[in-house]
Amino acid sequence: MRIKTSLEKGLNLFFPNRCVICGEHIGLSQLVCESCYEKLLSKGPAVTVERHKSYDLHYYSYYEGELKELILSYKKGRWRVYKILSELFSRLFEYFQPYPVITYVPSTSVSIEYRGFDHMKLIARDLSKRYGMMLRSSLIPVKNERQIGKSKRDREKLFGKYEARCTAFEVTLIDDVYTTGATISDAVRALRESGVRNISVYVLAKSKR
Ligand SMILES: [Zn+2]
């Protein structure tokens, strides 16, 4: 147990801090309660690799329970949650051997405006520091000027959601949730078109289908 200072006790009385997952009262410097944290750690990492045609997929756990709540709170703007999510990625990285160049699926400008940060970039930057990896912002959401007069679906069909600029041969690509694989496929295709040969994808959660 941590010993709380009287200042902390006072602040907690007026500005109670709550676990972003279950809502339990927690210390000011904490993000999640100990019980939720233990549950998160016990759920992963999944030690299987899914081999897809043009990439390998690694995931920490399934998109449910505490992990789902944590990811949702992060995407709603609780930016400090990146520390825990980065910790979960690092458990995956320690099990597998990621390529030394790391990139991420970028947020759209609308999402960045809403959240105030590019959520996967924040995690990628933290991981690059922890592991001495080279961080590259290689993927760029396709710009609007090419898309005038077409529906979103048509645009994505014609151009894909991303363009890529990357000079590495091998890349570690991270994202938060893997649902149908459409986003990752698009990102992988763009990276391959720019010359990347091998792509290892790491995500926090995979949807059960
Ligand atoms: Zn909790």
Give the percent of the chain with pLDDT over 70.
85
Nearest alpha carbon to residue 175 among 147, 150, 200, 151: 200
What secondary structure does DSSP assign to 63-76, as a single string? SSHHHHHHHHHHHT
Residue range 164-198, pLDDT digits in tens = 998 999 999 999 999 999 999 999 999 999 999 99
Positive or negative torsion for Cα 159, 164, 165, 171: negative
Q: What is the pTM of this model?
A: 0.87
Bridge partners (DSSP) of residue 134 are 101
What residue type is 68 in one-letter code?
K
Residue 22 C-alpha to ligand 1 middle, in angstroms? Answer: 4
* Predicted local confidence at residue 123, as pLDDT: 98
Mean residue pLDDT across the chain: 89
Residue 7 C-alpha to ligand 1 middle, in angstroms? Answer: 23
Q: What is the 3-state secondary structure (H, E, C) of 146-200?
A: HHCCCCHHHHHHHHCCEEECCCCCEEEEEEEEECCCHHHHHHHHHHHHCCCCEEE
Residue 138's pLDDT band (cuts 50, 70, 90): very high
What's the CATH fold of domain 46-206?
A: Rossmann fold (3.40.50)
Tell me whether residue 27 is exposed, middle or buried, using C-beta atoms within 10 angstroms of its C-beta: 0 to 12, 13 to 18, 19 or more.
middle
Pairing state between β 170-178 and 101-104: parallel
Residue 144's pLDDT band (cuts 50, 70, 90): low
Pairing state between β 139-141 and 162-164: antiparallel
* Predicted local confidence at residue 199, as pLDDT: 97
* Predicted local confidence at residue 174, as pLDDT: 98
Nearest alpha carbon to residue 204 among 111, 99, 68: 68
Residue range 43-71, pLDDT digits in tens = 999 999 999 999 999 999 999 999 999 99
Residue 43 C-alpha to ligand 1 middle, in angstroms? Answer: 15
Residue 66 C-alpha to ligand 1 middle, in angstroms? Answer: 8
Residue 195 C-alpha to ligand 1 middle, in angstroms? Answer: 44
Residue 24 C-alpha to ligand 1 middle, in angstroms? Answer: 6
Residue 172 C-alpha to ligand 1 middle, in angstroms? Answer: 31
Residue 36 C-alpha to ligand 1 middle, in angstroms? Answer: 4
Residue 95 C-alpha to ligand 1 middle, in angstroms? Answer: 26
Residue 28 C-alpha to ligand 1 middle, in angstroms? Answer: 14
Q: Domain-by-domain residue ranges, the chain?
A: 1-42, 46-206
Residue 98 C-alpha to ligand 1 middle, in angstroms? Answer: 30
Distance, CA of 83 to CA of 34 (rounded, Å): 15
